[in-house]
């Protein structure tokens, strides 16, 4: 039997002013297929799928859905054709329940939907695709994984048979990703067509049937996943071979920079987010923090940065207890935090402002009232753009018009360029392509050589092992152990992350 063509995009062009985001792009996706879309930051992936979901209209080219040419004037038209888009930034209403979010904006059955019938339908969809959702739970009480499931049910309820996911795994934990992949596989079994965008090549290899690679707005090609090697995909993406090795330099020179001693933090529910945390951070080192998301990493960063009060304990920086100081005072001491949040635009960047103003903004916050010379910042902005290879028409371009990964580079570049003494960075490569991720690791190594003490909150254990001098493992707000990555295996770190104590099956302790 001939496979059913769910989507066909032919010779699609889309420009934003002088930026050619898509140039003659071709993409075909069949029913029962999981199709990965791969490409560097700014390659045009989001732009392409946003034309399928009716957010943008192509300048030229054709789109067919089930062999019928379509012209979407709005997302509504796309939904009517059975296309469901799950955006990187969830579009859920926090104060409403799962059930209320599902009916919201749906035209099904008119405005009136009987609660009982809806609950039955949600249950049916959940069972059919293996989703697990409590219809009465409020969105603000949900984990990122639950929100993802809710977004999926929402589009399924509207009758979607073609599902598009733009970087769904970027902010999920490994366990949540596993569950999402099961759901996606179920949808495939039921004959749905799925397009997934991800920068993680192991995910592409694991979940997709075919891959289409974009480079600088153009289609490089479509390949069968089981007939291609990771290296070949990278070459298609970047246009050349790249060395994936992460370097680690041993630097003997070390001086104590920061000492955290018996730190306790309680969260909003009056539960302990951090319990008796003690560790030292030295100059010339990258101290990794491993742990499943939500094990206290966020609270640790925020408490050190002065954004979160502690219940008790002390944080010494160069001999002085800095707990209780304001974020500004802490920044002035040279402690910088580059936290890559779930919502990239939410944290410290203003989308409508250009790159220069976003850099000025940070310095202004640190020294309010100070007279800032704008021209000095042109140089700084250019330096950051060049160093991180930020793709932008210029430094006066509004940040919100950059691609997701490039927005993130602005955020991180700004922190690194401020000559910190201590750099706290959480998930800095989320959403970055492979080349950009390697650039970030190089930049962190460069900071380490300069003597900066770096606290690196990571999620990829291979990277933590390859990059860090020591790895501190968190579980449930406690430190399970601090290990030398040269002497432990990934499995041993995994054991500690799951709550195993040092000594119980784990061999090495480093103080």
Residue closer to Mg ion by CB (options 84, 168) is 168
Q: Is 47 or 303 the residue whose CB approaches ligand ATP more closely?
A: 47
- Of all residues in the shown chain, the one whose CB is closest to Mg ion is 46
Cα dihedral 385, 391, 394, 396, rounded to 10, equals: -80
Beta-sheet strand order (sheet of 193-197): 83-86, 162-166, 193-197, 34-39, 210-215, 218-224
The count of residues interacting with Mg ion (CB under 5 A) is 2
* H or E stretch covering 491: helix 490-497
Cβ atoms 228, 213 nearer than 8 A: no
CA dihedral 338, 342, 347, 349 (to 10 degrees): 100
How far does CA 74 lie from the centroid of its chain? Answer: 27
Residues in the chain: 511
Give the residue from 264, 317, 351, 363 showing the smallest Cα distance to 455: 317
- Near Mg ion in 17-56, by CB under 5 A: 46
Which entry of Mg ion, ligand ATP, none binds 485, CB below 5 to 8 A by partner kind? none
CB of 386 to ligand ATP, least distance (A): 16
Any idea which residue has 């329940």 for tokens? Answer: 97
CB of 179 to Mg ion, least distance (A): 23
* 3-class secondary-structure state, position 436: helix
Nearer to ligand ATP, 197 or 301 (CB): 197
3-state secondary structure of 61: strand
404/453 with CB nearer Mg ion: 404
| Residue 39 or 313 with smaller CB distance to ligand ATP | 39
CB of 193 to Mg ion, least distance (A): 20
By a kind-dependent CB cut-off of 5 to 8 A, residue 401 interacts, out of ligand ATP, Mg ion, none, with ligand ATP
Between 308 and 391, CB nearer to ligand ATP: 391
**Shortest distance (Å) from residue 405 CB to ligand ATP:** 3
Q: Are 427 and 459 in contact (CB under 8 A)?
A: yes
CB of 73 to ligand ATP, least distance (A): 17
Q: Decide if 365 contacts 319 (C-beta within 8 A).
A: no
User: Shortest approach of ligand ATP to residue 197 CB, angstroms?
Assistant: 7
270 phi and psi angles, rounded to 5 deg: 65, 15
Q: Which does 364 bind (CB under 5 to 8 A by kind): ligand ATP, Mg ion, none?
A: none
The site string for Mg ion over 369-408 (x = CB under 5 A, - otherwise) reads: -----------------------------------x----
Structure tokens at 55: 């957010």
Nearer to ligand ATP, 146 or 433 (CB): 433
78 binds, among ligand ATP, Mg ion, none (CB under 5 to 8 A by kind): none
* HSE toward the beta carbon, residue 81, CA cutoff 13 A: 24
| Residue whose CB is less far from ligand ATP, 197 or 323 | 197
Minimum Å gap between C-beta 338 and Mg ion is 20
Q: What are the residues binding ligand ATP (CB under 6 A)?
A: 16, 19, 21, 39, 41-47, 391, 401-406
Q: Which of 289, 402, 280 is nearest to 345 (CA)?
A: 402
Q: How far is the CB of 19 from Mg ion (least distance, A)?
A: 14
Query: Residue 402 binds which one of Mg ion, ligand ATP, none, with CB within 5 to 8 A depending on kind?
Result: ligand ATP
Q: Which residue of the chain is nearest ligand ATP when measured via CB? A: 405
Quickly count: other Cβ atoms within 10 Å of residue 484's Cβ. Answer: 13
In terms of C-beta density within 10 A (0-12 exposed, 13-18 middle, 19 or more buried), how is residue 284 classed? buried
**Rule CB under 5 A: which residues touch Mg ion?**
46, 404
């Amino acid at each position: 039997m001939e496979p059913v063509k769910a989507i066909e995009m032919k010779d699609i062009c889309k420009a934003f002013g002088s930026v050619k985001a898509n140039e003659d792009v071709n993409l075909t996706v069949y029913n029962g297929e999981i199709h990965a879309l791969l490409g560097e930051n700014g390659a045009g992936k989001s732009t392409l799928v946003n034309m399928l979901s009716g957010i943008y209209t192509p300048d030229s080219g054709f789109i067919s859905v089930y062999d019928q040419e379509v012209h979407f004037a709005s997302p509504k038209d796309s939904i009517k054709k059975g296309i469901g888009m799950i955006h990187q930034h969830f579009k859920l209403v926090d104060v409403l329940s799962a059930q209320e979010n599902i009916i919201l904006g749906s035209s099904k059955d008119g405005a009136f939907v009987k609660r009982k019938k809806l609950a039955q339908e949600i249950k049916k969809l959940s069972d059919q695709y293996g989703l697990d959702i409590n219809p009465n739970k409020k969105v603000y009480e949900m984990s990122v994984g639950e929100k993802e499931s809710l977004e999926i049910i929402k589009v399924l309820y509207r009758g979607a048979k073609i599902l598009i996911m733009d970087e769904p795994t970027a902010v999920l934990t490994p366990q949540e990703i596993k569950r999402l992949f099961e759901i996606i596989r179920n949808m495939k079994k039921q004959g749905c067509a799925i397009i997934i965008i991800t920068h993680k090549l192991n995910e592409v290899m694991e979940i997709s049937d075919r891959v289409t690679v974009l480079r600088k707005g153009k289609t490089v090609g479509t390949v069968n996943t089981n007939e291609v090697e990771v290296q070949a995909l990278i070459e298609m993406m970047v246009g050349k071979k790249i060395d994936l090795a992460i370097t680690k330099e041993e630097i003997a020179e070390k001086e104590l920079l920061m000492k955290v001693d018996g730190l306790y933090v309680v969260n909003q529910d009056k539960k302990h987010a951090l319990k008796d945390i003690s560790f030292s951070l030295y100059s010339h080192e990258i101290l990794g923090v491993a742990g499943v998301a939500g094990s206290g990493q966020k609270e640790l960063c925020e408490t050190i940065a002065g954004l979160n009060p502690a219940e008790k304990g002390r944080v010494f920086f160069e001999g002085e207890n800095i707990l209780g100081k304001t974020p500004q005072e802490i920044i002035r001491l040279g402690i910088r935090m580059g936290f890559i949040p779930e919502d990239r635009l939410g944290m410290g960047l203003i989308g409508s402002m250009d790159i220069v103003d976003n850099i000025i903004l940070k310095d202004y916050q640190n020294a309010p009232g100070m007279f800032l010379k704008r021209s000095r910042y042109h140089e700084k902005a250019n330096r950051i753009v060049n160093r991180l290879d930020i793709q932008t028409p210029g430094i006066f371009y509004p940040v919100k018009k950059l691609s997701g990964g490039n927005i993130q580079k602005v955020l991180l570049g700004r922190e690194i360029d401020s000559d910190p003494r201590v750099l706290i960075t959480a998930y800095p490569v989320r959403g970055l392509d492979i080349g950009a991720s390697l650039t970030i690791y190089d930049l962190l190594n460069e900071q380490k050589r300069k003597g900066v003490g770096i606290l690196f909150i990571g999620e990829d254990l291979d990277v933590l092992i390859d990059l860090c001098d020591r790895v501190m493992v968190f579980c449930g707000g406690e430190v399970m152990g601090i290990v030398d990555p040269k002497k432990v295996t990934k499995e041993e770190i995994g054991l500690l992350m799951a709550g195993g104590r040092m000594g119980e099956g784990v061999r090495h302790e480093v103080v």
